[in-house]
Structure 1
């Protein structure tokens, strides 16, 4: 069996009931249980709290489209060099864009992708917030507003970027390995 984390990973028998239910649901919906779900389940209550907020930001209707959120995940994860999130969210972006080449270019270097002004402004903001958070100023919001983002959408963008910075650090710090299924998805 491939090691998916540098820490212990609970099995079905030792995982808390709420975690097992989420694993079952994800297995039914995706056809597999994401390794990030298994690796973080060591602390079940913390994992479920993380999942509740992650799910709210990434999977529920909001002010940004699902493709926007996955694009932000890919840009942040690329800037942080987070293998798990770059691979898993790269797969999701390929599916949402229905253009695997564009999704792969965004993952490698979003500046080389054929993005509109709105998407480019979001990527630039996400990258700056990820790499230079102490340098953020109110003026950084101007390109987002000029591209048509409302204050609600900007707040959601910031929250999504923050969530992926958190998740990238946990995944990278503990050596999370992406599921093999992600590599072939939507190609």
Structure 2
């Protein structure tokens, strides 16, 4: 049960955004800047970083929300997303992304856990300064988002099928107020 009085019909961060539209507007702009660009990292890679950090933080809602969005960008390849959350070192992803996920994992522990050795390894595999910057910022942001969702005990659906429907909306429209003002889509293009 949420720690504050929020709309019980909205799961996860959606209820928190509806509770504070002013905060939601700023967070939406920020999240779009972080995750909705293919400059350097692809949108799929960005969502995989968010998913990885959310998994490390044990934030079920964010892990499955962003994992489903990553799967949308990966042409429905939810198996790859699962590989990344279970053991990214063995996942069928680039060595560069593996090095960046290592950096993201260090950020999740605390910023000072990132080492020069990790950064040099990522650069040797083709990561640019922008890739490293964005990885650290995405990881730090998702530590905040995860703590926002779990710190206020937001309702978290356990029915995994609901995540893919909302993910498709976000993949198409991005992050914004539609996340908490538009009803949850259901199968056959109907909305609930």
Q: TM-score, normalised by structure 1?
A: 0.76
Pick from 106, 118, 124: which aligns with 1:128? Answer: 106
Counterpart-to-counterpart distance in 2, 1:183 and 1:58 = 17
Corresponding residue number in structure 2 for 1:76: 53
- Displacement of 1:35 in angstroms is 4.2
CA contact (8 A) 1:122 1:144 kept: yes
Root-mean-square deviation (CA, aligned residues, Å) is 2.5
Counterpart-to-counterpart distance in 2, 1:104 and 1:41 = 30
Corresponding residue number in structure 1 for 2:115: 137
Corresponding position: 1:94 with 2:71: yes
Counterpart-to-counterpart distance in 2, 1:7 and 1:131 = 28
5+ residue gaps in structure 2? 169-192
CA contact (8 A) 2:11 2:155 kept: no
**Is the alpha carbon distance of 1:58 and 1:34 closer, same or farther for their aligned partners in structure 2, counting shifts above 3 Å?**
farther
Q: TM-score, normalised by structure 2?
A: 0.74
- Displacement of 1:92 in angstroms is 1.1
How many equivalent pairs are there? 163
Residues 132-161 of structure 1, C-alpha deviations (whole Å, 9 max, x = no match) = 433323333101111111112211111111
User: 1:1-150 residue pairs with structure 2 within 5 A?
Assistant: 5-10=2-7, 35-98=12-75, 99-150=77-128
